[in-house]
Structure 1
Amino acid sequence: MNDPEGELPMIKQYRDWIQKSPSENDPERSRFFTDGLIVLDTNILLSLYEYTPAARQQVLDALRNVQPLLWLPHQVGLEFFQNRHRVIIGRKKALEESQRTLRNKISDAKKALKEARTHTQKMLIRYAQDTEASSKLEKQISDKVINDLLSDLSSTLEGQASRLREYDISVSPNGEGDTVLSQVADLFREQIASPPDPELTRRRVEEASLYRFPNLIPPGFKDAGKGTALASSGDFLLWEETISHTAASENRSHLLFVSNDTKEDWYQPSGEGRSEPRPWPYLKSEMRMRAGAELRIETPGTFYRGINHFLHAEIAETTYAEIDRASVGAVPTSITETAAIRTQPPPDLVAAALDAAGLEDALVYATSNTTHRFLLLWWLIGATTQLGRRTPTDEEPDVLFMPATRATTQPDPSWVPGVRLHLGEWPYRSSSWIAPWFADTINASSVRDRKILQGLAAQQLAFKPRDIQAD
């Protein structure tokens, strides 16, 4: 399979469908970083606003290593300018909200301590008839004592919250003061596409809307019906621009496309012997057929590690962590067990799920296994909506896996029998199988959280809608 020229015609023609998923160790990978074309999706450029100044500088320095290979499609440039202000405002709002949230939490803490004191006083009077102890408690834990107790802690927290203002990006609508914009412009210079002819854009939108999307031909078919036909065709317009430019580029036989987008209209879901999704083979075949170039699609973390490996860019591990964190925005429309492992759950959804389930925040750190943690948190996000504990957000993905199943046969060699869970807490001990990540979490959780988790899983098994599967 590694020598296309020596293959039989049928094997050669359809080799993209039988080749393994792209590996970071592919021998040909280096060519994409040294003499190919590199196209960065809009989300890669917008992510620059999400980094800390130090990480942003490292990323921009890394991109300068491949500057001669970069090319900016018009569609990417247009979306970048349409969305950059929204991203900046969103960042500013989040920083402002963090300070308000902190003040509210401190206020809640004071209120909770006072309520705890009052509750204890009532119990002392009701059951012990001890008015003296009740009065003494009033003096020991007075409002002033509570305020003084939380004062130093509040000052420390507020000091850190104020320091976050240093990371704000304040720019005017015309771009003044936006150092990110100026550095991105300097990065691409003249290597940008001109706007395509309006008639050509119209034909491409019609092709997407009338032919490709109804037939689920990648890329972009998941956006069908979202807004106007033009707005929903953004991925396809980008794809067509890229193919046309690559075909017209001399001595460019490799194209590297970098994007956060791993939805099913760019990535073929796992299955048929594959444990991980992969870029659709159709895309590689189409690029080769129409532009005569080999295509490689990478996520930002993999791409920047590639620059580091092949071109010796200096990127710190803390910066890779920021790159991966900023990639969280690209959440698939549905989450299978495989997708959960490779997709960090958004913090706001995690917080909402924990609150809806009545679980402690410390549960997030119950297990040191990152894979098990991601699986647990995604399951909680899905379970709390499926069981009516909370209302899902508009963009929230469907979670399509469960932590347990009732079956006579073991669904996977790694799953353990239900008897491994605690007697009296799990109703299906003799007739169920438990996912290893769930068993691991249960064993590491507090008694309180353990009971809540098992209760949710048991309710979900009893409910079990048709679209949830024990993956």
Structure 2
Amino acid sequence: MTGPENEYPLIRQYRDWIQSGPSEDSPDRRQFFTHGTVVLDTNVLLSLYEYTPAARTQVLEALQSVQQRLWLPHQVGLEFVQNRHRIIIGRKKALETASKNLQNKIGEARAAILDARKLVQDLLIKYAQDTAAKEALESEISDQAVRVLLGDWTKALGDHIQRLKEYDLAISSVERGDPVLSQVAELFGDKIAEPPDQAEIRRRVDEAATYRFPNQIPPGFADAGKGTPLSSSGDFLLWEETIEHMAASTERSQLLFVSNDTKDDWYQPAGNGRSSRPWPSLASELRARTGAELRIETPGEFYRGVNRFLDAEIAEETYAEIDRAAENLIEVVITEQEAVHAQPRPDLIAAAFEAAGLEESLLDSIGDASSRLLFTWWLIGVTAQLERRRRFDDEPDVSLLPATRSETQPDPGWLPGRRLHLGEWPYRISSWIAPWFIKAVNCTSRHDRQIMQQLAARQLDVERTE
């Protein structure tokens, strides 16, 4: 809003709410790209693992055009290094699942063709008594003939999947040295925040949990109750770090924040004839606490802006990849830290126990609540991992192991494998067992504990081959 009316205190004080929101044609947009501090959210950096090599090269070259203005909050760096390997493992598992799904689909196609043949044969006998035609079909469309017919297609599809397994970021090569990590480290150089003081982190987590989240003050309130108070406060910790950084220098007068996250705790939902937009209160808070102006953009908007204002060369195909990756936000992962604070949905619990052949009532025999939650989340995860059941569309990943095979004790609380029953646990000499799993095993019937130990041993075998 411009003109004399903009001088009125009411208009000036609430201008972020009165304005329609940022536009790609805003007259001051160029300034954010040429002079602003640029902060990339964790999901923007993790998306680098999802691009093809050519697209990744173009994106990194585009980021070099704002390299001098980039700044990496500690929270973003921490989340990036913690989640990067999981993204790569996710690619590997997706391709492994693709191979199995391909075989299943081909098997279904073969069965469908043979069923179609039988349908016609039955009609030939029922309405024409044409035995010769029936036998001709039996010979022409035999099971072997169908296998041969589908064989070339199966091989062509399988070859594509196999090539993708070794394409670009194969897990074996990343374990020897992650090229994306090195490129990101070089991009930011020394423009990285130091870890905040632990007392300050505790204060911020408490503020998020007791004041901001209950009152739905952005950012991050949509994560309230997901995992531990610390893990659910990630967006707010990032926000506070960024405000502190912007306030430290009067030269930092514009902040360009780039993120895939457009949930309701960052973006005000559309309504009353208004499109969705970043919450105006975020811009107001940043200005009030630092004097700086805020602009929030998605990766697609940002890279198109880099192309427009800084003459970066990004192909249309790369924009398509950027937009596609933006739709694949990081999924919730249940770790041991998260599991003791997160209650699984009843339908997930029921599906996991049914798939394992266990009764939910056995949970009553596991003494403490933490062990019950850990066991339940593990059973949900392992039955999905071992394909004992079909995963729910919105089911979180579970990264929780009840045992490990190693010479050294992974944690002071873990116990040697010989604490499990002789003849039931195959790795009594070479394994360590989580205390919660031993509690669960030792308080159940022999039938149930054998099922539990078999699942744990199978999971251990699978993990060691990946």
Partner residue, 1:327: 326
Partner residue, 1:380: none
Q: How does 1:194-205 map to 2 (within 5 A)?
A: 194-205=194-205
Contact 1:92 1:168 in 2 (8 A): no
Contact 1:260 1:299 in 2 (8 A): yes
Partner residue, 1:366: none
Q: Structure 2: how far apart are the matches of 1:316 and 1:4? A: 43
* Secondary structure of the corresponding residue to residue 207 of structure 2: helix
Q: How does 1:246-325 map to 2 (within 5 A)?
A: 246-274=246-274, 276-325=275-324
Partner residue, 1:393: 394
* Secondary structure of the corresponding residue to residue 39 of structure 2: strand
Residue 174 of structure 1, CA deviation: 9.2
Residue 125 of structure 1, CA deviation: 1.5
Q: How does 1:284-433 map to 2 (within 5 A)?
A: 284-330=283-329, 393-394=394-395
* Secondary structure of the corresponding residue to residue 106 of structure 2: helix
Q: Structure 2: how far apart are the matches of 1:308 and 1:328? A: 21
Partner residue, 1:135: 135
Contact 1:259 1:298 in 2 (8 A): yes
Residue 127 of structure 1, CA deviation: 2.8
* Secondary structure of the corresponding residue to residue 194 of structure 2: coil
Q: 1:66 to 1:211 in 2, by over 3 A?
A: same
Partner residue, 1:69: 69
- How many positions carry a matched residue from both structures? 339
Residue 21 of structure 1, CA deviation: 1.9
Q: How does 1:13-28 map to 2 (within 5 A)?
A: 13-28=13-28
Q: How does 1:86-235 map to 2 (within 5 A)?
A: 86-171=86-171, 176-235=176-235
RMSD: 2.3
Give 5+ residue unaligned stretches, structure 1: 334-389, 396-471
Q: Structure 1: how far apart are the matches of 2:331 and 2:296? A: 17
Give the letter aligned to residue 10 of structure 2: M
Q: Structure 2: how far apart are the matches of 1:322 and 1:178? A: 21
* Secondary structure of the corresponding residue to residue 257 of structure 1: strand
Give the letter aligned to residue 139 of structure 1: S
Q: Structure 2: how far apart are the matches of 1:100 and 1:259? A: 34
Contact 1:268 1:278 in 2 (8 A): yes
Contact 1:85 1:173 in 2 (8 A): no
Contact 2:5 2:11 in 1 (8 A): no
Q: Structure 1: how far apart are the matches of 2:175 and 2:140? A: 57
Residue 101 of structure 1, CA deviation: 1.8
* Secondary structure of the corresponding residue to residue 176 of structure 2: coil
Q: 1:82 to 1:173 in 2, by over 3 A?
A: farther
Q: 1:99 to 1:172 in 2, by over 3 A?
A: closer
Contact 1:267 1:279 in 2 (8 A): yes
Contact 2:261 2:329 in 1 (8 A): yes
Q: Structure 1: how far apart are the matches of 2:308 and 2:329? A: 25
C-alpha offsets along residues 237-260 of structure 1, whole Å, 9 cap, x if unaligned?
000000000111341210000000
Give the letter aligned to residue 215 of structure 2: N
Q: 1:66 to 1:84 in 2, by over 3 A?
A: same
Q: Structure 1: how far apart are the matches of 2:195 and 2:224? A: 23
Contact 2:43 2:330 in 1 (8 A): no
Partner residue, 2:243: 243
Q: Structure 1: how far apart are the matches of 2:277 and 2:331? A: 14
Q: 1:272 to 1:309 in 2, by over 3 A?
A: same
C-alpha offsets along residues 17-51 of structure 1, whole Å, 9 cap, x if unaligned?
01012100101001111111000000000000011
Q: Structure 1: how far apart are the matches of 2:244 and 2:139? A: 79
Q: Structure 1: how far apart are the matches of 2:173 and 2:107? A: 36
Q: Structure 2: how far apart are the matches of 1:79 and 1:320? A: 25
Residue 277 of structure 1, CA deviation: 0.7
Q: Structure 1: how far apart are the matches of 2:176 and 2:4? A: 52
Give the letter aligned to residue 394 of structure 2: T
* Secondary structure of the corresponding residue to residue 87 of structure 2: helix
Give 5+ residue unaligned stretches, structure 2: 333-390, 397-466
